[in-house]
Structure 1
């Protein structure tokens, strides 16, 4: 097949996150299987406009907003070339059905529904535009096409909050982590938080919980790994015992995560929670709020703890620190082993080829 993977950013973009990991891990596997793959995306300063990586042809153009019309123009000029377009929605999709041939198979890939997050990142009028594009305009534009969600709760949110009517298939994230030798859990309680430092991740809630936790465990430390627009504000309010590491290479990140007693996610909502499964692969359970995506990635009482929104985070983490033992390590690793990028690529390839896939919990 000739496949265009259209995504807001590529994995080397300075603001890349889990959506970019999903798109790239699948794209490189499609290319490895013999398909012709283009990865069409925005261009950060210093990035090449064109290059080929692992058999995937990258075409970069535009910035945060200009990438949308530029990508549509790029596809329009090549409308007869592609058999399949994976149109990855990061709040707003690319509306590729408007410019490709009718017989081209378009899959709208949705990580999570952004309706509640637009107001966190944008002024009121622009948030309203975002919700209109994500909801009624997207629903109409993709009405004849199948969609892909990365978790059951995302698929449910598409139905209930966006009014999506067509087929929605669940294709989970895989897990791929470096496992350095000799990692041992720290003697003193240690927390880790991995993710982009953006408003809806609410990392400030973890910082606010640290002083209370250190009154009980004076040696408790916290490692925050990630970068983003909230970094300066978070650094300005760092309590004692917290280190903001910014970006770390995969091996260094894995060493810090593997030493932690508990991984903490304070996000308002996720598509899946890739960092949760990466921590689980290293045997580290997660404390998270019971929100979209995270309620799928965390198995309460087995691979972590889910807190109701509004629950005191310090108390929730304290409960986890009291309960965590080797059984959580074992169950976390068993859970993470169920997810594979190879299996995800095989499932999506079957969908693109029009082959039937198993029904049930994964097809809503």
Structure 2
């Protein structure tokens, strides 16, 4: 339960996007689930973020005041300027890093508690950017952030994110873990008799949806009636749509109810990403009784219990063989294990843990099915 001490607390959540932004993903869900629960507990919450075309600059939703400004890159200086003008008005700030944090300690009063929330380490993903932007990105995520937040508490969403922060970024400050929750209807729909695979996520380069498309022809040699459904949108959508193999449908954006119905009808979810903070879509599929096949990479190795709630393919391994093995091994017990696993994670519990950190309280180490973080 969230502490009643949040009542009256002045809190800013700064995040690259909000959940209604056309490029929103799991990081936006995480930030919003925290913000609205804090507001329900009596905190005065401002969600400061970028503004997509057609979005209002100000909006009140679930007791949270949304303030939108700037675009892909300009949101960072604009948010800092907005906070600078109000530097003494906030008791705490959740500074959410989507590859690059907002560096809010530079403009806030020293008494303001700042928690840097990190979903996953992006260092390798910056390679898709032009050279100078990649160099700048790596500097800001690495030495720049390491120095800025060295005396501030940081929050990672999974043990592998915390490990990557230490090992790949040389993070100096304390790190606590606050995992994602799940908020889908576990009822779901009926599973089809023919094999169906689903892939849910942003259509961006590091999700590597191409690897799944490459695997489809080989899988259909063994299961000729195999269907593959891809749900999501992003800059890769047009390119991927132009090379869809037979039996594959790219749905683009789907409302949550339609997406959940599609996932619930699948036998497997396949995620080919090169790394995640956690992989919220894995947990959401598990709540619907659907296991996930993914590569053994950051975040996904935390979200999946190999052989129980999904299967992990060695990075660089043969995805088609991994999916084929999963389809062969799959039985009714996996759905039950998936639902039991997902039930261990809920947004109320995660928000209560985050609230304790915002209030400066100590929290117990995370111990979930072998997770242990000191």
* Fold similarity call, TM over 0.5: yes
1:144 equivalent in structure 2: 151
Distance of 1:274 and 1:193 partners within structure 2: 12
> Do the aligned residues in 1 keep the contact of 2:220 with 2:226 (CA within 8 Å)?
yes
Residue in 1 that maps onto 2:238: 232
TM-score (normalised: structure 2)? 0.95
Contact 2:187–2:288 (Cα < 8 Å) also in 1: no
| Residue equivalent to 1:56 | 64
Aligned to 2:89: 81
**Equivalent-residue separation in structure 2 for 1:362 and 1:33 (angstroms):** 29
- Output the CA distance in 2 between the equivalents of 1:317 and 1:359: 34
Deviation at 1:178, TM superposition (A): 3.1
Residue 223 in 1 paired to residue 223 in 2?
Answer: no
Structure 1: stretches of 5+ with no match in the other structure:
none
Q: Does 1:130 align with 2:137?
A: yes
1-structure distance, mates of 2:372, 2:108: 28
The answer for the alignment partner of 2:25 in structure 1 is 17
For residue 116 of structure 1, give the secondary structure of its aligned residue in structure 2. Answer: helix
Match of 1:199 among 202, 205, 208: 205
Preserved CA contact (<8 Å) 1:179 1:254: no
> 2: distance between equivalents of 1:226 and 1:135?
30
Alpha-carbon deviations, 1:155-206, whole Å to 9, x = none?
Answer: 000000000111100000000113456x211111110000000000000110
- 2:274·2:297 contact (CA, 8 Å) conserved in 1? yes
Stretches of structure 2 that go unaligned for 5 or more consecutive residues are: 1-8
1:126: how far off? 1.2
Using the alignment, how far apart are the partners of 2:23 and 2:85 within structure 1? 28
Q: Once the two structures are superposed, what CA deviation does each residue of 1:245-269 show, in whole Å capped at 9, x if it has no partner?
A: 0111111111110111110000010
Contact 1:169 1:362 in 2 (8 A): no
Correspondent of 1:242 among 248, 251, 257: 248
The answer to whether structure 1 residue 46 and structure 2 residue 54 are counterparts is yes
CA distance in 2, matches of 1:344, 1:170: 9
The equivalent residue for 2:3 is none
CA contact (8 A) 1:175 1:336 kept: yes
CA distance in 1, matches of 2:256, 2:139: 38
**Number of aligned pairs?**
362
1:189 aligned partner = 195
Residues 133-175 of structure 1 show CA distances to partners (whole Å, capped at 9, x for unaligned) of 1000101111110000000000000000000111100000000
CA RMSD of aligned residues (A): 0.9
CA contact (8 A) 1:170 1:362 kept: no
> 1:167–1:363: 8 Å Cα contact kept in structure 2?
no
- Would you say 1:283 and 2:289 are equivalent positions? yes
Q: Report if the CA contact (8 A) 1:11-1:20 is conserved.
A: yes
